[in-house]
Amino acid sequence: QPIGPSPDAVTLPPDVRYLRLKDLKVGTLLLGVVSEITSTDLVVSLPYFLTGYVAHQHTMEAEYIDTDEGSVGVAPLGERFRVGQIVACVVLKTEKERRIDLSLRPSLCNAGLTIDTIQPNMWLP
pLDDT digits (tens, 9 = 90+) for 73-107: 678 899 999 999 999 999 999 987 789 999 999 88
The CATH number given to whatever domain includes residue 53 is: 2.40.50.140
* H/E run at residue 77: helix 77-80
Judge whether 1 lies within some domain: no
pLDDT at position 83 is 96
Judge whether 6 lies within some domain: no
Judge whether 124 lies within some domain: no
Measured CA to CA, the distance from residue 100 to residue 91 in angstroms comes to 7
Answer yes or no: is pLDDT of 8 > 70: no
Judge whether 44 lies within some domain: yes
Q: Could you tell me the residue range of the domain that residue 24 belongs to?
A: 20-109
Judge whether 82 lies within some domain: yes
Task: Give pTM, 2 decimals.
Answer: 0.75
pLDDT at position 75 is 81
How confident is the prediction for the chain on average, in pLDDT? 84
pLDDT at position 7 is 63
Judge whether 36 lies within some domain: yes
Measured CA to CA, the distance from residue 83 to residue 63 in angstroms comes to 26
Beta strands in 1-125 (DSSP E): 29-37, 41-46, 50-55, 86-94, 100-103
Answer yes or no: is pLDDT of 61 > 70: yes
Judge whether 4 lies within some domain: no
61 vs 1, higher pLDDT: 61
**Structural domains counted in the chain:** 1
Judge whether 10 lies within some domain: no
Answer yes or no: is pLDDT of 65 > 60: no
pLDDT at position 119 is 86
